[in-house]
Amino acid sequence: MRGEVARDHRIFQGIPYAAAPVGDLRWQSPQPVTAWRGVRAATRPGDRCAQSTDLWGLPASDSEDCLYLNVTVPRSATPRRPRPVMVWLHGGSLTKGAGSDYDATRLTTRGDVVVVTVNYRLGVFGFFGHPGLAGNGAYGLEDQQAALRWVQRNVAAFGGDPRNVTLFGESAGAHSVCAHLASPTAAGLFHRAITQSTFCSQTAFTGSRLRPVVDLPMWVPKAAHEAHGATTATALGCTDPKTAVTCLRGKPVSKLLAQEPLALPGYGNAVLPADPATVFAQGRFHRVPILTGITRDEGTLFTALIFPGLTEQGYQEGLRHIFGDNAAAIAAKYPSRGRPTQAVAAIMSDLDWAWAGRASDRMLSEHTPVYSYGFADRTAPPIFPLPGGVEPLASHGSELSFLFPGAPLTREQRKLGDMMITYWSRFAATGDPNAPGLPRWSPVRTGHVHRLAPGPGGVGVYDQDALHELAFWDRLSSH
């Protein structure tokens, strides 16, 4: 295989890890790739998995031949001197994105790790179900596990250590990491996990009087995917249950992309035989060390999309609709001050993310080492521009540019990025993020959350409870 060689790293792009899931392989488990003869050029990324364009203009794709990965390697790594491996699952609501959107050179060279970025089937192609299909709602997860098996078989030839693999992702990619923590078929495929801007369980709301602002399930049963798939089949004219799957496999990509996907991981299949919520609550997940965290202002991106142009009247009515008798207390704690969308963003950041995430972290830490962070740079460049009237602050995904080169950073931000890369790569190497010369990061079981912000004193203990009004939400939950 011929890649590209730079002064301090090597990169191999567009490596197929499974056969193209086209024709009869649409909505099938990933199949082995056909071996090639001679030297394969690995100098360009493979196609993005089929997806429509989005509000920010990320490229669309009509390709189903997309199961490719990219490997970035420190120049000095060899099979005799293998490096820890970090496998990245991209975000994008399980409907957008590609592994090649992330430049891993800085993480590779500064962290001295091998980084693998992965494409996987998305939307209606990756998370689809129908009564006539096996694997309902989990084809994208199966792809990710196929990529992890490729790593086990092949990464040593690139200078990576298959016995030391960290699975990490952000947003929907982190959601996928949680799925693999709960998946029996992922056993032995990775040895540490990093989840950025998600949490693996919503146990905080179990038995509580509170509900999240955006009340969506993390996992859906097989029956829900099958019902949604049957509706999709009818909409596309595939009305005979006996031939519906064959009919759907004959539909062009564009017709399927036009359908509303149920882009949530499904359970009741080989990958997730049980509801992951139950698996985590019972401690039956893969007990590998976990590094996890959120940004200070996770809610700004979502409220800008969900509640554009929100008025003061709409804000008050929404509080009453969601929180009932608690609405007045919440309005007093989160006054709109003429910016109701920003107020909703603060509620969502504190309740949906920080309060729920704290409960998840504590639950996981009963069984395995967990290290939690709060990314608190409110001047960080957002990954997407937000509509006027919404201040991004430390928005969802804003930490990504500190790990992967993207938006320009200030000198102090770049120093923070260097520290984060050291923490992340040290965790990948040892299961503990601590490294000489960096502020001590204690595990969650000690009550510690680690603050990540630029400037003097920016990295250290994070008073999560105070910054996110968690005592207030604790009181409301119990009354």
Find the CATH number of the domain harbouring 113: 3.40.50.1820
- Average pLDDT (403-410) is 92
Q: Using the predicted structure, report yes or no on whether residue 321 has a pLDDT greater than 90.
A: yes
- Average pLDDT (60-88) is 96
Phi, psi of 248 (to 5 degrees): -65, -35
Task: Report which of 176, 352, 327 is spatially closest to residue 266, judged by C-alpha positions.
Answer: 176
pLDDT of residue 429: 98
Report percent pLDDT > 90 for the chain: 88
When pLDDT is cut at 50, 70 and 90, the band that residue 55 belongs to is low
Q: Which of 18-32, 225-239, 384-398 has the lowest mean pLDDT?
A: 384-398
Q: Using the predicted structure, report yes or no on whether residue 98 has a pLDDT greater than 70.
A: yes
What is the per-residue burial (b if ≥16 Cβ within 10 Å, else e) of 7-43? Answer: eebbbbbbbbbbbbbeeeebbbbbeebeeeeeeeebe
Q: Using the predicted structure, report yes or no on whether residue 17 has a pLDDT greater than 70.
A: yes
- Average pLDDT (386-407) is 90
Q: 362 lies in a domain?
A: yes
Active site residues: 171, 298, 396
pLDDT of residue 56: 66
Q: 322 lies in a domain?
A: no
Domain assignment of residue 116, given as a range: 4-301+350-478
- Average pLDDT (294-320) is 94
Q: Which long-range contacts (CB under 8 A, 24 or more apart) does 230-239 make?
A: 230/130, 230/131, 232/124, 232/128, 232/130, 232/256, 232/259, 233/130, 235/259
- Average pLDDT (216-234) is 95
- Average pLDDT (341-363) is 96
Q: 213 lies in a domain?
A: yes
The helices-and-strands tally (H runs, E runs) of the chain is: 17, 13
Query: Is the pTM for the entire model greater than 0.95?
Result: yes
Q: Using the predicted structure, report yes or no on whether residue 479 has a pLDDT greater than 90.
A: no
Q: 341 lies in a domain?
A: no
Task: Report which of 324, 346, 329, 348 is spatially closest to residue 337, judged by C-alpha positions.
Answer: 346
Question: What is the number of domains present in the chain?
Answer: 1
When pLDDT is cut at 50, 70 and 90, the band that residue 85 belongs to is very high
Q: Using the predicted structure, report yes or no on whether residue 58 has a pLDDT greater than 90.
A: no
Task: Kindly list the distances between the CA atom of residue 367 and the CA atoms of 154, 189, 247, 280, 289, in Å, as whole numbers in the listed order.
Answer: 31, 19, 47, 10, 9
SS3 187: coil
Look up residue 24 and give its amino acid. Answer: D
Q: Using the predicted structure, report yes or no on whether residue 159 has a pLDDT greater than 70.
A: yes
When pLDDT is cut at 50, 70 and 90, the band that residue 389 belongs to is confident
pLDDT of residue 330: 98
When pLDDT is cut at 50, 70 and 90, the band that residue 141 belongs to is very high
Q: 323 lies in a domain?
A: no
pLDDT of residue 134: 85
When pLDDT is cut at 50, 70 and 90, the band that residue 11 belongs to is very high
Q: 345 lies in a domain?
A: no
- Average pLDDT (189-213) is 92
When pLDDT is cut at 50, 70 and 90, the band that residue 135 belongs to is confident
pLDDT of residue 15: 98
Q: 429 lies in a domain?
A: yes
Mean pLDDT of the chain: 95
Q: 90 lies in a domain?
A: yes
- Average pLDDT (77-101) is 95
Q: Strand pairing of 68-74 and 9-16? A: antiparallel
